[in-house]
Amino acid sequence: MTTIYTVLLYLIQPLIWLRLWLRGRKAPAYRKRWAERYGFCEGKVKPDGILLHSVSVGETLAAVPLVRALRHRYPTLPITVTTMTPTGSERAQSAFGKDVHHVYLPYDLPGAIHRFLDTTSPKLVIIMETELWPNIIKALHDRKIPLVIANARLSERSAAGYKKLGKFMRQLLQRITLIAAQNQEDGERFVSLGLKRSHLTVTGSLKFDISVTPELAARAITLRSQWAPRRPVWIATSTHEGEESIILAAHRKLLARFPNLLLILVPRHPERFADARDMTQKGNFSYILRSSGEIPSGSTQVVIGDTMGELMLLYGIADLAFVGGSLVERGGHNPLEPAAHAIPVLMGPHTFNFKDICSKLQQADGLITVTDADSLDKEIGNLLTDDDYRRYHGRHAVEVLHQNQGALQRLLQLLEPHLPPRNH
């Protein structure tokens, strides 16, 4: 089975190059650093450290508290963070700067993987969420390098797909040192696929272990006083195709009742920045781009967030937040980032990527569900009209965050046996 998979992966490489090249038309970063995708990373990493892989933006954000904690506990141990996408790469570089090394994780081809591991020779590999690459897993197992899947999740749909692989899947899971699952449900799915129960721990979700640092809070207060000292602000983030038009339609309705309302619109992917700008322009809204560095005037109705790595800051200047990927069937993005700022969180009905987190928020009145421009207009109108109602929803959102923290400490304890002794 591994041989068939590997041969197919080699055969489709020209299609992968074509896809990277085509995506590069809108996002030029896809046309760069191809050598890293084949394991050539000499001079870009330091060996004998920790290797952490987070495929894209969401996983990279969840990894931020973990990487910071590892840096604090093991200050002399080099850390390399790998991603697969340019947006994940930009997020990693803006979050960690020079504190960690960063390269793309190579494709799961034996030659590329061995070249990569020869250069990095990690003491421990941590993969965020669920990236199960057979050749990487086999190479780590053969080299006796411990592999931990952290913050692991496995949806019912994915588990059903993996089940069809039978023995191959069982063999793959038995080569993993430890799976630290987000909840019992996810953990049981891994066991049903062949993971030994002794190799499973339920730690909770790392996504709850975020916090607003004093520096970030101070920057947000300064930016709010510059942008909107005396006007209400709402933010719509991580939007996908089909959502910006709904957001702008709701904003149009809201402006009739709240003429000085400011919207911050942040598309999920950089290649959508231009589309969001064109839609805003066509809608005859007065707008500015965040990247311009301009300060919104009293007549600015929309700020388009076309920069990377500023989401937590921008949440900090808003009175309430809509989190995208949820009005269209993308499964939603992380509602805990706005919750950390104690502001009300609104999402569409499609939240399967954050099923557990969203149900916790919903049960505690920390999440409001909307379905279209009309319900968005209605709910935001209620929140802007009634300060107590708005504070109530924001307070309940942040309480859910605080009540579910602790996964980070549990995970750090599990990693300790696989790392050199700490200097206390």
The residues carrying an active-site annotation are: 59
Pairing of strands 287-289, 302-304: parallel
DSSP assignment of 346-373? EE-S--GGGHHHHHHHHHTT--EE--SH
37: DSSP letter: G
Q: If residue 267 lies in a helix (H) or strand (E), which one and from where to where?
A: strand 262-267
Instruction: Reduce the DSSP state of residue 236 to 3 states and report it.
Output: strand
Q: Where are the alpha helices (DSSP H) in 13-133?
A: 13-23, 57-73, 86-96, 110-120
Rounded CA-CA distance 278/229 in Å is 28
Rounded CA-CA distance 89/32 in Å is 12
Among 208, 236, 178, CA closest to 62: 208
* Distance linking the first and last C-alpha atoms of the chain: 47
Rounded CA-CA distance 305/314 in Å is 8
Rounded CA-CA distance 136/117 in Å is 9
Where are the extended beta strands (E) located within 79-213?
79-83, 101-104, 124-128, 147-152, 178-181, 200-202
Neighbours of 119 (CB within 10 A): 18
DSSP assignment of 64-84? HHHHHHHHHH-TTS-EEEEES
Q: Is 334 exposed, middle or buried (0-12, 13-18, 19+ CB in 10 A)?
A: buried
What is the biggest distance separating any 2 CA atoms in the chain, rounded to whole angstroms? 65
Give the chain's length: 424
Neighbours of 331 (CB within 10 A): 14
Rounded CA-CA distance 274/343 in Å is 28
Type of residue at 395: R
